[in-house]
Amino acid sequence: VPAKKKEAVVLTDKEIIELARYGEILEEHYGLPQDIEWGVERGKIYILQSRPITTISGGKKAAGSKAVGAGSGKVLLSGLAAAPGVASGIVKIVSSGRELDKIKPGDIMVTKMTMPDMVPGMKRAGAIVTDEGGMASHAAIVSRELGCPAVVGTKKATFTLKDGMEITVDGGKGIIYEGVVAHAAPAKAAAPATAGGIFYSKPVTATEIKVNVSEPDRAEAAAATQADGVGLLRIEHMIIGMGKTPNWYIKNGKTEEYISALVDGIKTVADAFYPRPVWVRTLDAPTDEFRAMEGGEGEPHEHNPMLGWRGIRRDMTETDHFRLEVRAFKRLHEMGLTNVGIMLPMVQHVSEFQKAKALMREEGLDLDKIDVGIMIETPGAALTIEDFIEDGIDFISFGTNDLTQYTLAVDRNNENVAGLFSELHPAVLKLIEYVVEQCREAGVKTSICGQAGSYPEMAKRLVEMGITSISANIDAVAIVRDTVARSEKILIMNALRNKD
Contacts of 353 (CB under 8 A, 6+ apart): 312, 344, 347, 374, 388, 391, 393
Q: What are phi and psi of 176, to 5 degrees?
A: -115, 125
The helix or strand, by DSSP H or E, that contains position 282, with its residue range, turns out to be none
Q: Per-residue pLDDT tens for 108-134?
A: 999 999 887 788 889 899 999 999 988
Residue 439 bears catalytic tag: no
Q: In 166-288, at which residue ranges do the beta strands (DSSP E only) sit?
A: 166-170, 175-178, 208-213, 230-234, 278-281
Complete domains list, the chain, with CATH: 3-52 (3.30.470.20), 75-178 (3.50.30.10), 208-499 (3.20.20.60)
Contacts of 119 (CB under 8 A, 6+ apart): 142, 214, 215, 237, 240, 241
pLDDT of residue 31: 67
**Rounded mean pLDDT, 411-426:** 86
Range among 90-99, 138-147, 247-256, 286-295 rated most confident: 247-256
Residue 449 bears catalytic tag: yes
Kindly name the residue from 183, 321, 439, 449 that is annotated as catalytic: 449
Q: Per-residue pLDDT tens for 244-294?
A: 889 999 999 999 999 999 999 999 999 999 999 999 999 988 887 778 788
Kindly give the residue spans of alpha helices, DSSP state H, lying in 65-201.
Answer: 119-124, 138-146, 157-160
pLDDT band at 198; cut points 50, 70, 90 = very low
CA distance 31 to 355: 51
Kindly name the residue from 138, 183, 237, 321 that is annotated as catalytic: 138
CA distance 453 to 445: 16
Distances (CA, A) of 269 to 210, 218, 272, 425: 13, 8, 5, 34
Strand 395-398 versus strand 372-376 pairing type: parallel
Of the chain, the percentage scoring pLDDT greater than 90 comes to 53
* pLDDT over 50 at 231, yes or no: yes
Per the DSSP assignment, residues forming a β-bridge with 34 are: 52
pLDDT of residue 195: 39
CB 68 within 8 Å of CB 183: yes
